[in-house]
Amino acid sequence: MISTQTQEFIGMLSTVKHEIIHALGFSAGLFAFYHDDAGNPLTTRYADGLPPFNDSLGLYQWSNKVIYKAARLWDVRGNKMLRHEVFLLITPRVVEEARKHFGCPILEGMELENQGGMGTELNHWEKRLLENEAMTGSHTQNRVFSRVTLALMEDTGWYKANYSMAEKLDWGRDKGCDFVMKSCKFWIDQKRQKRQLVSPYCDTLRTNPLQLTCRQDQRAVAVCNLQKFPKQLPQEYQYFDRLNGVPSEDLPYYGGSVEIADYCPFTQEFSWHLSGEFQRSSDCRILENQPDPLKNYGAEKYGPNSVCLIQKSAFVMAQCRKKLMYPDWGSGCYQVSCSPQGLNVWVKDTAYLCSHSGQVLTVSIQMNGWIHAGNLICPACWDFCDSCPPERDPPASNITRAPSIGSSGIFTVWLFSAGLGQKGWLVERNRAGGMWYSLWQSSQRCLCSL
């Protein structure tokens, strides 16, 4: 279904590009026809020029110069380890780019999707490893066409790739061999033991009210998509030996809401809907996502120069004796700018200087007759600026400029997982805090639990 919503244009354009790339070469039906730089087929051909046909797959059978089957040692709950079979695309440029991206010199190739059924399986990159790469099997957020996809197109033998046009992919970058060759349970457990963030995965259950966070690239408000399923997950995808507030007998029911990411939970952007109609998304960079001024509890500002910041405390709106606090909090979108002094965070017409990462900004501004007060946590200056001064103790700094405007209303929250017959949960919420669930299934957009 084609949408005329400005906020959905980028995602729709990405879908068109995605399908064109399938037609041009990224397809299991074409793997057997790839050839090397000298023009020699990578798969043996018969006298009629065609490769062997695999009747069970309904596809021309590729050779082991294109696709390689491997087995991983796969950690699951209960201190058990299973064999997890994967298919990897092992053409030369793909291998080179995959090794560079993950920082893993022993990686055999780039893993292909192993779930989702016909049309998804083997026809996309593995969602667990390249979450928001545009050639994964579902659209969850911030699609980018990376160097890995351009490498595949060049390795077909039919094209020359312009790598300067590749988009930056943060997911999995420099995470190493443990990330790319082992289960997400192994990664999460290792980070927990070291008392480090489990990013890019997450292990926080969604609650009512929602505990908001930021997408990995800090460009959108997000939630952890860890949820309880109605049935136990396959043993291969049971990752948790403990979760706060969850009885041990219920742990096999918990996993990430995106099946083709091997049920690994990760932070995911979402959208607001009103009476089934799309209102806005949580992408900070889209001006049209600006909330209604009277509902903008956190004094947020959406736009091209905005990023997601963690809120240390819930923002409070005060007017005379009235005090209002929005129940869902934890992050918000705020405009930032770079200066010789460091990163400035703008809240309405006041700039707060971030002198060091983790600095707590005490915010208090007046907007539409209300005082908005709360605390924001400074990100690292280098995350957004090309040049930054040494970190230091913060001085006082305020700068005045014009206020922001926007629009929105009562909402329903959906998680994006556009794509290929995936199932998910839709949760509707009103501002009184009531919540109810209904199962939603779509061949184009899959809605995950909130």
Task: Catalogue all structural domains in the chain, each as residue range(s) with its CATH number.
Answer: 6-181 (3.90.132.10), 291-383 (no CATH)
Partners of 27 in the β-ladder: none
Helix (H, G, I), strand (E, B) or coil at 356: coil
Q: What does the pLDDT look like over 229-282, one tens digit per residue?
A: 999 999 999 999 999 989 999 999 999 999 999 999 999 998 888 888 888 889
Check pLDDT > 60 for residue 418.
no
User: Which residues fall within 8 angstroms of residue 313, CB to CB, at 6 or more apart?
Assistant: 329, 374, 375
Does 84 belong to an annotated binding site? no
DSSP string across 196-238: ---TTB------SS-B-EE-TTSSBEEEE-EEE-SSPPPGGG-
Q: What is the mean pLDDT of residues 175-191?
A: 97
Give the pLDDT score at 445: 34
Q: Around Cβ 46, how many Cβ atoms within 10 Å?
A: 9
Closest CA to 242 of 180, 185, 307, 157: 185
Residue 131 appears among annotated catalytic residues = no
Give kind and range of the element (H or E) at residue 420. Answer: none
Predicted local distance difference test score (pLDDT) of residue 420: 39
Does the structure show a pLDDT above 90 at 419? no
361-398 pLDDT per residue, tens:
999 999 988 999 999 999 999 999 999 999 988 776 55
* 8, 19, 249, 288: the active-site residue: 19
In the predicted model, is pLDDT for residue 448 greater than 50? no
Other Cβ atoms closer than 10 A to 206:
20
Average pLDDT over residues 187-203: 94
pLDDT of res. 295: 86
Task: Judge whether 124 is annotated as a binding position.
Answer: yes
pLDDT tens figures, 204-220 = 987 777 789 999 899 99
Tell me the backbone φ, ψ of residue 250, rounded to 5 degrees.
-95, -10
Q: Was 372 annotated as part of a binding site?
A: no
Phi/psi of residue 276, nearest 5 degrees: 85, -5
Give the least confident one: 75-89, 324-338, 416-430.
Answer: 416-430
pLDDT given for residue 395 in this prediction: 73
User: For the segment 15-47, what is each residue's pLDDT rounded down to a tens digit?
Assistant: 999 999 999 999 999 999 999 999 999 999 999
Question: Is 175's pLDDT higher than 70?
Answer: yes
